[in-house]
A and B are shown apart, each in its own frame.
Chain A
Amino acid sequence: MSLRIHQDHSRFKQIVRGKIKSNLRKYVQKGEMIGKKGKDTISIPIPFIDIPHFKYGHKEQGGVGQGDGDVGQQLSPGAVQPGDGHQAGQGEGDHSLEVDVTLDELAQILGEELRLPNIERRQNEKIVTQKIKYTGVNTTGPESLRHFKRTYKQALRRQIAMGTYDPARPVIIPTREDRRYRSYKLQELPETNAVIIYMMDVSGSMGDEQKEIVRIESFWLDTWLRHQYKGLEARYIIHDAVAREVDRDTFFHTRESGGTMISSAYKLCRDIIKSDYPKSAWNIYPFHFSDGDNWSADDTRQCIEMLREDVLPNVNQFAYGQVESPYGSGQFIKDLREAVGDSTNVALSEIADKDAIYASIKDFLGKGR
């Protein structure tokens, strides 16, 4: 039986959703929310869902507290609660409330707002993965799962019962029997798997702003694809004249100099697909970002050849984003457009600045591939 409150709850969520939606363009352009990401949720400051009252500012008001400490001593952050129990925003005078939204929900909102089509899955095979779910407390288990509080309580209980507890010397020593462990079950989840292969040009001409754009854009691509596929992996390739695979952090923070050989990245991308992601079991999404200034026409030819022969036949969609840099925008996107622009599984997008990210996401995801 459903609870009456669910109506109010969904109304609340609807309002939150509406607020997020109407501010989505702003969120997309701002990178800050990427930093506030939890495991499955993200904190979003939404404007003013509170009901206003005539009231005092908490900072002006202060209050009475309880505990140790000398006059002048600072209270630890978080020790002071705003007077009326509502979550406060970033600071006084800032009409915002932080709400947690699941990434899934965010993706849905993104999809609705940009009218993104759902991706048609190329692979229908279900791949099963296992997930650990903690279900309770047990008397046996590995030490790493020991429940310290329960163990302590059990020992305390036993010592009191046995009369060996001494309040003057309150030492609690758990025995083997007192130990408690978290127990878990393995759940099997059917999943459809996908992999994103991010490639980024880190040559001298790609500045911090360009990288910021890539970072923001990849957050949204990630979010959307994660919404479409439950098991999503990501691989990261950076390149200048040579390419190498790195972890996510390095990907966004590396700065190199020197020339650009895009083919090196494509070669690595091809190898990764070949060795780790058989077409039969994976949905594959390479995304490449560069300012489009390739080393030579010859290298560009190699790129196109590799795309045609090795990459495009194996992937759901290949996407290239050309980020405008202080040195202008290169030739590469034009070459791609001429050579493979007609292919259904190629998406090309020019991203002039942060404002353009919004439209660019649509370029990339609008094909529903």
Chain B
Amino acid sequence: MPKSLTPPLAKLKQEIEGHAREFGLDFFETIFEVVSYDELNMVAAYGGFPTRYPHWRWGMEYEQLSKGYEYGLSKIYELVINNDPCYAYLLESNSDVDQKLVMAHVYGHCDFFKNNFSFRHTNRRMIDDMANHATRVRRWIDKIGVEKVEDFIDRALSLENLIDQHAPHIRRNPDPQRAEDELKSNERVEGFKVNREYMRGFINPSEFLDSQRKKVEEEKARTKKFPERPQRDVLAFLLEHAPLEPWESDILSIIRDEAYYFAPQGQTKIMNEGWASYWHSTIMTRRALKDDEVIDYADRHSGTMGTRPGALNPYKLGIELWRDIEERWNKGRFGKEWDECDDLRARRSWDKKLNQGREKIFEVRKHYNDITFIDTFLTAEFAIDQKLFVYGFNDKRNSWEILDREFRKVKNKLLQQLTNFGQPIIEVVDGNHDNRGELLMAHKHDGQDLKGDYARETLRNVQSLWRRPACIITRYDNKGVLLRFDGQNHTEKKIDL
């Protein structure tokens, strides 16, 4: 089980923490625990937490991680939990230089967690909540049975990406126009206009008024949509409206809580890993590294930064981008004058000696997420320097190939990959579809089709929670399609969009 730091490690921690503070990093108290490989694999399988609710997928994760170790594919880990205090893990068999590198990297993450706006609404006591979730799920298992609970978790997990990532930041103001409409529609039905008061009873007999009133009510009921606006948080919608047993609601809300907790980490992966890498490299090379550790450090560092053509390494892309920003703001390579300069030689030797780089990156780490980070700071020069390209699958040759190196396309593809974690945006549009209590969802199609077999399996899981047929509108090959699962059969219907 996790051990507290040995005196030499405690000394290292003190040293690295000192460097980090000196550089201006600002973090919660950070607790390091020393663990064995097995324990590290376990914690990693649990997403960094010491406890999670029981489920086979952690076991699958664990198996893959352990295998990676056996095959010598993975060596060094850094694992930090966004919590106050932050928790991080050190592998007991690592050398001092590894431990220092990991600590420096961890302080980078902790600073990011504390200061980046995306994490402002996260639960800083998540470590306790995760443990509580585990206890609750275990108690349900005792009561309901492991098979039923696990089966439900499987289905709930299948929907875990159907949340509204930005929900924690949205304040839902009442809509004045809608309120006004609502007020108006509540006015009494007056019937025909009456000039002579004594004629009123004849022109607008009470039966007539009643029937008119009823008509209006019916009309209102008919047009009242449910939900009134498309709802991105499909899990919340199901929690509120699906006929779930109490234990099912409880588990679904656990899955949803955890999904929201992890969402900001997905939204800032490139920034966060880049930031931590920037700081481990700065702290190590400027302060902490001893002469005889240089080679091992270089070996580890380059191992983390390695790239393969068909995958983007967030550590590498991130650190390079941070360094690029720092350099640009040091040299004054921004602003109107810079943008308008098209003399290549002048651009190359441009140096206004502003030295605002450090300050700038600290500001950026506060107010951006991956999308705005890439959108604002990824320049054409950078894309060329870093040899970025768009790749795609060539059906004819049955292989992946480089499609484009054009800056605009690279950037757009990258932004597309980052939007909603590169996952489709799905909303509930009607909870009473066809007036038969069917659930209708819509996929906001952005040029990419859903993976068909997965969509059908997922629809099956939605149906099992909703307990009425579930449908989704999407597009295949540019044609509108309504997929429907009624509990027995899948159907697919062409529709006009």
Q: What residues make up the interface of A, taking CB atoms closer than 8 Å to B?
A: 1, 3-5, 7-15, 48-49, 51-77, 79-81, 83, 87, 92-93, 95, 100, 153, 156-157, 160-161
Known contacts A54-B424, A54-B454, A65-B402; 12 further A-B pairs (Cβ under 8 A): A8-B58, A11-B55, A15-B56, A53-B159, A60-B393, A60-B448, A60-B449, A62-B393, A66-B307, A71-B405, A75-B399, A100-B67
Minimum CB–CB distance for A182 against chain B, Å: 13
In the assembled complex, the Cα of A153 lies from the Cα of B45 at a distance in Å of 32
Q: Does B74 contact A (CB under 8 A)?
A: no
In the assembled complex, the Cα of A4 lies from the Cα of B410 at a distance in Å of 44
Are A67 and B387 in touch, CB under 8 angstroms? Answer: yes
Are B388 and A59 in touch, CB under 8 angstroms? Answer: no
Closest chain A residue to B311, Cβ basis: A81
Closest chain A residue to B43, Cβ basis: A5
Are A75 and B402 in touch, CB under 8 angstroms? Answer: yes
Closest chain B residue to A97, Cβ basis: B60
Secondary structure class of chain B's binding surface, majority of residues: mixed
In the assembled complex, the Cα of A60 lies from the Cα of B41 at a distance in Å of 33
Q: Does B116 contact A (CB under 8 A)?
A: no
> Which residues from chain A contact B387 at a C-beta distance below 8 Å?
66-68
Are B391 and A64 in touch, CB under 8 angstroms? Answer: yes
In the assembled complex, the Cα of A151 lies from the Cα of B401 at a distance in Å of 37
> Which residues from chain B contact A77 at a C-beta distance below 8 Å?
399
In the assembled complex, the Cα of A254 lies from the Cα of B400 at a distance in Å of 39
Closest chain A residue to B154, Cβ basis: A51
> Which residues from chain A contact B404 at a C-beta distance below 8 Å?
71
Are B402 and A52 in touch, CB under 8 angstroms? Answer: no
Are B402 and A71 in touch, CB under 8 angstroms? Answer: yes
* Given A55-B424, A160-B294: A95 and B453 interface contact (C-beta under 8 Å): yes
Q: What residues make up the interface of B, taking CB atoms closer than 8 Å to A?
A: 1, 38-39, 41-42, 45-46, 51, 54-60, 62-64, 67, 150, 154, 157-162, 291-292, 294-295, 299, 307-313, 316-317, 386-394, 397, 399-405, 410, 413-414, 417, 422-424, 426, 443, 448-455, 457-458, 461, 472
> Which residues from chain B contact A87 at a C-beta distance below 8 Å?
64
In the assembled complex, the Cα of A157 lies from the Cα of B405 at a distance in Å of 39
Are A65 and B311 in touch, CB under 8 angstroms? Answer: yes
Are A71 and B403 in touch, CB under 8 angstroms? Answer: yes
In the assembled complex, the Cα of A358 lies from the Cα of B45 at a distance in Å of 38
Closest chain A residue to B452, Cβ basis: A93
Minimum CB–CB distance for A86 against chain B, Å: 9
Are A74 and B311 in touch, CB under 8 angstroms? Answer: no
Per a CB cutoff under 8 Å, which of B154, B161, B291 touches A54?
A: B161
Minimum CB–CB distance for A261 against chain B, Å: 49
Minimum CB–CB distance for A237 against chain B, Å: 38
Are B402 and A63 in touch, CB under 8 angstroms? Answer: no
Closest chain A residue to B66, Cβ basis: A9
In the assembled complex, the Cα of A93 lies from the Cα of B45 at a distance in Å of 27
In the assembled complex, the Cα of A1 lies from the Cα of B386 at a distance in Å of 47
In the assembled complex, the Cα of A60 lies from the Cα of B475 at a distance in Å of 13
Minimum CB–CB distance for B401 against chain A, Å: 5
Minimum CB–CB distance for B490 against chain A, Å: 13
> Which residues from chain B contact A95 at a C-beta distance below 8 Å?
453
15 A-B contacts (beta carbon < 8 Å): A4-B42, A5-B41, A11-B54, A48-B457, A53-B458, A55-B454, A56-B423, A56-B424, A56-B451, A59-B393, A60-B448, A60-B449, A62-B391, A79-B311, A100-B67
Closest chain B residue to A50, Cβ basis: B454
In the assembled complex, the Cα of A77 lies from the Cα of B398 at a distance in Å of 10
Per a CB cutoff under 8 Å, which of A53, A60, A72, A153 touches B158?
A: A53
Per a CB cutoff under 8 Å, which of B51, B299, B316 touches A66?
A: B316
Per a CB cutoff under 8 Å, which of A53, A67, A80 touches B400?
A: A80
Are A66 and B63 in touch, CB under 8 angstroms? Answer: no
> Which residues from chain A contact B157 at a C-beta distance below 8 Å?
51
Closest chain B residue to A61, Cβ basis: B448
In the assembled complex, the Cα of A161 lies from the Cα of B316 at a distance in Å of 29
Closest chain A residue to B455, Cβ basis: A54
Are A65 and B391 in touch, CB under 8 angstroms? Answer: yes
Closest chain B residue to A7, Cβ basis: B54
In the assembled complex, the Cα of A61 lies from the Cα of B157 at a distance in Å of 23
In the assembled complex, the Cα of A65 lies from the Cα of B391 at a distance in Å of 7
* Given A65-B312, A70-B402: A55 and B62 interface contact (C-beta under 8 Å): no
* Given A10-B59, A65-B389, A71-B403: A5 and B448 interface contact (C-beta under 8 Å): no
> Which residues from chain B contact A79 at a C-beta distance below 8 Å?
308-311, 400
In the assembled complex, the Cα of A79 lies from the Cα of B292 at a distance in Å of 35
* Given A8-B56, A51-B57, A56-B450: A64 and B389 interface contact (C-beta under 8 Å): yes
Closest chain A residue to B310, Cβ basis: A80
In the assembled complex, the Cα of A60 lies from the Cα of B417 at a distance in Å of 12
In the assembled complex, the Cα of A9 lies from the Cα of B389 at a distance in Å of 39
Are A160 and B388 in touch, CB under 8 angstroms? Answer: no
In the assembled complex, the Cα of A303 lies from the Cα of B295 at a distance in Å of 71
> Which residues from chain A contact B423 at a C-beta distance below 8 Å?
53-56
> Which residues from chain A contact B309 at a C-beta distance below 8 Å?
65-69, 75-76, 79
In the assembled complex, the Cα of A57 lies from the Cα of B161 at a distance in Å of 16
> Which residues from chain B contact A5 at a C-beta distance below 8 Å?
41-42, 45-46, 58-59, 62
Are B388 and A64 in touch, CB under 8 angstroms? Answer: yes
> Which residues from chain A contact B159 at a C-beta distance below 8 Å?
53
Per a CB cutoff under 8 Å, which of A11, A72, A160 touches B402?
A: A72
Are B399 and A67 in touch, CB under 8 angstroms? Answer: no
